[in-house]
């Protein structure tokens, strides 16, 4: 139910999520300070959502047609997980993030060069595009006649019709010993055993879809949403909530290939995190949504 050929009418190429009530958030938060709770009843109108994260191939089509330049390209650097860097690039690093020393701003890192100037996406055209800011994601969505999903739409889609479950497929991380998402295995951040088959991003649709037919709703790459960040929620029943009207950071959902329970237990449906809208990194992407046309 997806297409790589843009622009097209949203009705043709996205997965339809029928409107319904669902339970958003959780009363058993894995990371309470992130505002995962309380659990509340939310109505979502019918909408379309892309079955997978926007790929390098799709983003390249956008850039080729429009000449768009991403914020990372304008800034001249972007954040990269140090474990993915070549020795040459590591030798040029001047500083890292104090609270997360495995993150370093790398000169020349952008969506075409995910690990810096000596890297390429030539063999990753079907992987999620990375190093895109919130504004970059919005620009792509507008070109494709789409938009970013709200946080509530995103979580509704992630749950795939399952109520009160940890993951898009249920409560067990590995049902029958099988991997259902691209996550970190081993000792974070020192050793990734890659038991799921991947050290970094994977091609979209490499793991099973949820019951709505959506892939990589958790793991692989974080996904921007439309909402401004807020950690204060009530149990009040809501319809199509859109978050605060203003803010300084945007909500991202789903976690990434770097997530491990010991550090970033955010690959759960209710989990959430945030970044400033101009942020970009080697584990941050997006998927598109669209209104249902009458």
Instruction: Using alpha carbons, list the distances in angstroms from residue 91 to 80, 97, 116, 191, 242.
Output: 14, 16, 12, 21, 44
Q: Which residue has the higher pLDDT, 159 or 92?
A: 159
Q: Confidence band (pLDDT; 50, 70, 90) for 58?
A: very high
Q: Confidence band (pLDDT; 50, 70, 90) for 102?
A: confident
Q: Is the pLDDT of residue 93 over 90?
A: no
**Mean pLDDT of all residues in 17-42:** 97
Query: Which residues are CB-neighbours of 214 under 8 A, at least 6 positions away?
Result: 15, 49, 51, 52, 157, 158, 160, 168
Query: With pLDDT > 90 as the criterion, what percentage of the chain qualifies?
Result: 86
At 81 the pLDDT is 92
Instruction: Using alpha carbons, list the distances in angstroms from residue 235 to 54, 143, 145, 247, 252.
Output: 33, 37, 34, 22, 22
Number of neighbouring beta carbons within 10 Å of residue 276: 12
**Does residue 142 sit in helix, strand or coil?**
helix
Of the candidates 52, 114, 49, the one whose C-alpha atom is nearest the C-alpha of residue 289 is 49
**Mean pLDDT of all residues in 264-285:** 98
At 99 the pLDDT is 63
At 96 the pLDDT is 66
113-125 tens-digit pLDDT: 999 999 999 999 9
At 100 the pLDDT is 74
Say which range, 8-12, 18-22, 74-78, 209-213, has the weakest mean pLDDT.
Answer: 8-12
Q: Is the pLDDT of residue 232 over 70?
A: yes
**Mean pLDDT of all residues in 85-96:** 75
Query: With pLDDT > 70 as the criterion, what percentage of the chain qualifies?
Result: 94
Is domain 10-291 annotated with CATH 3.90.1580.10?
Answer: yes
**Mean pLDDT of all residues in 23-44:** 98
At 98 the pLDDT is 64
189 preceded by a cis bond (ω within 30 of 0): yes
Instruction: Using alpha carbons, list the distances in angstroms from residue 44 to 32, 139, 232.
Output: 25, 24, 20
Listed by start position, the domains of the chain span 10-291
DSSP state of 54: P
178-188 tens-digit pLDDT: 999 999 999 99
At 14 the pLDDT is 76
Paired tokens of 156: 């509704």
- Report the chain's mean pLDDT, rounded to a whole number: 93
Query: Which residues are CB-neighbours of 260 under 8 A, at least 6 positions away?
Result: 183, 184, 185, 186, 188
């Amino acid at each position: 139910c997806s297409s790589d050929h843009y622009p097209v009418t949203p009705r043709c190429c996205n997965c339809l999520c029928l409107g319904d009530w669902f339970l958003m958030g959780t009363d058993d938060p894995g990371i309470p300070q992130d505002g995962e709770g309380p659990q509340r009843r939310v109505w979502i109108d019918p909408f379309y959502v892309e079955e997978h994260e926007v790929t390098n191939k799709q983003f390249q089509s956008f850039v080729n047609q429009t000449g768009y330049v991403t914020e990372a390209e304008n800034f001249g650097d972007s954040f990269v997980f140090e474990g993915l860097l070549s020795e040459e690039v590591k030798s040029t690093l001047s500083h890292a993030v104090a609270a997360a020393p495995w993150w370093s701003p790398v000169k020349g890192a952008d969506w075409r060069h995910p690990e810096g100037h000596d890297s390429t996406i030539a063999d990753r055209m079907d992987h999620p595009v990375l190093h895109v800011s919130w504004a970059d994601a919005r620009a792509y969505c507008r070109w494709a006649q789409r938009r970013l999903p709200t946080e509530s739409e995103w979580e509704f889609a992630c749950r795939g019709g399952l109520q009160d479950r940890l993951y898009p497929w249920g409560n067990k991380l590995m049902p029958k010993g099988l991997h259902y998402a691209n996550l970190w295995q081993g000792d974070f951040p020192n050793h990734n055993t890659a038991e799921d088959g991947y050290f970094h991003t994977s091609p979209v649709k490499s793991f099973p879809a949820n019951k709505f037919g959506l892939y990589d709703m958790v793991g692989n790459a974080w996904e921007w949403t439309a909402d401004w960040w807020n950690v204060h929620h009530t149990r009040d029943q809501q319809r199509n909530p859109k978050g605060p009207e203003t803010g300084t950071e945007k909500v991202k959902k789903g976690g990434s290939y770097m997530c491990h329970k010991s550090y970033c237990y955010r690959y759960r449906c209710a989990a959430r995190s945030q970044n400033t809208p101009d942020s970009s990194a080697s584990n941050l992407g997006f998927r598109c949504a669209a209104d249902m046309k009458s």
